[in-house]
Structure 1
Amino acid sequence: MAVPRGSGAGHSCFRTWGSLLYLCYLDESGTGQTLNPAVPDSVPVMVIGGFTVPENQVQGLVWDFLELKKRFRPELRRLSSLTQMVHHEVKGEALRKNFRREGRNRQRMAHGFLDQLINILERRGCTVMARIWVKQDGARNDESAMYAAAVTTLCATFEHYLAERSSSGIAVLDSRNPHDNTGNVHCVTTRRFGKDEERLPHLPESPVFGHSNTHIGLQIADLLVSAVLAPAAAVTYVADLSGTNVHCHPGYRTVRERHCPRIGKLQHRYRSVTGKWVGGVVVSDARGQESAGKLFAPLATTQRDGGPLPRVPEQVSSQESAPAPPASSPAS
């Protein structure tokens, strides 16, 4: 039996008993700060993104990730409560530092951690989406507008994903501050609840906000955008600053080569009414006008350090595995 909502009794998108709810967790990496090539720590990209997960896989996702954290940091096994385990975060920024260090052991362990993280996303039927802004040298950027536009785009992708499955979903954003939170979702609220047209019918509510130290989903979103997409995008679209800008470190080329192809297969991409491929990971490159396809294309000159890279030990799932996610469309 359908659960009615408002006066739209004729809508076919109501959640029915037995249908799945989907969660979408979104986080950001980088800022809208002006890119100054002469400043070594000037941020060249801003990334807002994350992933979706069906509700019947959330518990398995959480326990898989907690086990991965304990394998990556064995000292966490001494913690006495689940609350402490959730509260202790493995930040994407920390993994990025390992990729910049000369010691291969730290690099290999960080790559192994990401390998296992992507394994979890694959096993749990997750999809990945993001909006990447590549900044032009010296140009002023409106960070609030960039963030709001990204959230609007990602919610539109999420809406399409839900409509294909006749399901409903909730988007959860990493909380920033009350002023920014309001501006970040205002456009989505208007689209969702405007009188003239209900353009996001499968989202029963505007995006809500959570804190990463209490939400495992936000911790995973942070790792996706901060440890994979942001460094990979920087070294892909701002390669001329490699070696002079810390965010374009040559060590990030292996991040792109090793992990982006797998991320690319997890995208939800679809054709718009004009026949153009949209959704998934979208790149707005004000610097070189390159497409998102470049992020997932093979690197011709990536150097390996020789020999197989050891991984974080394989984990045995405590939950039933999800069916394989549907085949993804080609990246653009």
Structure 2
Amino acid sequence: MYLCYLDESGTGQVLNPAVIDSVPVMVIGGFTVPESQVKALAWDFIALKKKFRPELRKRPTLSQVVHHEIKGETVRKCFRRPGRNQRRMAHGFLDHLLTILEQRDCTVMARIWVKQDGVSNDDAAMYASAVTALCANFEHYLAERSGSGIAVLDSRNPSDNIGNVHCVTTRKFSKGGDRMPHLPESPVFGHSNTHLGLQIADLLVSAVLAPAAAVTYAGDLTGNVHCHPKFAEVRDRHLPRIGKLQHRYQSPTGKWTGGIVVSDARGHQSAGKLFAPAATAPDTPLGFPAQTSPEDLATAASFPRTTTPAP
């Protein structure tokens, strides 16, 4: 049995270059983990939270530590702050998080949309098609291992939740046969303050993939808070490691797919731009700073896990 946790960052709202906080990308993604590693993953992450938020060590119950979230948005803000130490702390936290994923045999997957200026987008359709594609990626991953799995989505609201999984449900229970036989059920929903896996997915999507994609594909939006120049450090330092955690495979037509897929309607650039080697040596990590209180938009292009295709 395997678990897949998925979360999102950004919306399909129209991108307005004149508005400094207009969001240029929408990212839906997360990670998979073997059932045999779930408990160890959880305890690793709890220890990480306590390491970088020492006040959590004084919480009297485990449930309080789990309930306290270190949000990806908060980590992302650290990279925009002028203090170098705060950026180093945030990078150190993400370094440790990726080490946990590597040690617990996890894989990372995502769908990234880069929006065009002034173009209306179907938010619901974008999310639903991403969930369907990610579940198809998960299905292939499970089939290779002759295993089964459950996908857990961060709950939004009842009406959105229904639309987000409807495409998966119809693929599973249509008269034409089950197209995702290794998923015994359509994706289920959880709340991030009670699911450590969803907290990790939020950090991956909101603190790493979203800022890295924004600065890479929409860096020309001068002054936009989502395209801060320091986000290039996030991409250069952490995306090479994430690239090695992808589950990549060839479709029946021979096309490589899976892992992190980018649909760039703005500049029609490939996902390869996300995985450039780090430009500088990483800083020594410190601690974590105090936390303050449809269809693809363009032809999808993705980047191989390795330079040599797997057989």
C-alpha distance in 2 between matches for 1:208 and 1:248:
33
Partner Cα separation in structure 2 for residue 111 and residue 155 of structure 1:
30
Match 1:179 to one of 159, 167, 170: 159
SS at match of 1:132: strand
- Cα-to-partner distance string for 1:111-164 (whole Å, 9 max, x where unaligned): 000000000000000000000000001100000000000000000000000000
**Structure 1's 175 and 331: CA in aligned 2 closer, same or farther, altered over 3 A?**
farther
For 1:148-167, what aligned pairs fall within 5 Å after superposition? 148-167=128-147
Shift of 1:309: 2.9
C-alpha distance in 2 between matches for 1:171 and 1:128: 13
Q: Could you list the per-position Cα deviations for residues 11-62 of structure 1 after superposition, in whole angstroms to 9, with x for gaps in the alignment?
A: xxxxxxxxxx000000000011100111000000000000000000000000
What secondary structure, in the 3-state scheme, does the structure 2 residue paired with 1:172 have? strand
Q: Which residue of 1 aligns with 2:249?
A: 270
Equivalent position of 2:125 in the other structure: 145
Matched residue, 1:63: 43
* Paired amino acid for 1:152: T
Q: Partner amino acid for 2:211?
A: P
Q: Which has the larger radius of gyration?
A: 1
Using the TM superposition, give the Cα deviation of residue 83 of structure 1 relative to its aligned residue in structure 2, in angstroms: 0.5
Provide the residue aligned with 2:12 in structure 1: 32
CA contact (8 A) 1:292 1:331 kept: no
Q: TM-score, normalised by structure 1?
A: 0.86
User: Contact 1:296/1:331 (CA < 8 Å) preserved in 2?
Assistant: no
Residue 264 of structure 2 corresponds to residue 285 of structure 1: yes
Partner of 2:284: 309
Amino-acid identity (%)? 74
**How big is the shift at 1:328?**
4.4
Say if 1:185 and 1:207, in contact at 8 Å, map to a contact too. yes
Would you say how many aligned residue pairs link Structure 1 and Structure 2?
294
5+ residue gaps, structure 2? 289-303
TM-score (norm 2): 0.92
Q: For the aligned residues, what is the CA RMSD?
A: 1.7
Find the partner of 1:254 among 212, 233, 238. Answer: 233
C-alpha separation in 1, matches of 2:283 and 2:26? 32
1:65 Cα offset (Å):
0.2
Q: How many angstroms apart in 2 are the aligned matches of 1:123 and 1:149?
A: 30
Q: Which runs of 5+ in 1 are unaligned?
A: 1-20, 314-326
CA 331–262 in structure 1, closer or farther in 2 if over 3 Å, else same: farther
Q: CA deviation at 1:198?
A: 0.9
What is the SS of the residue equivalent to 1:68? helix
TM-aligned CA distance change 1:115 to 1:331, over 3 Å: farther
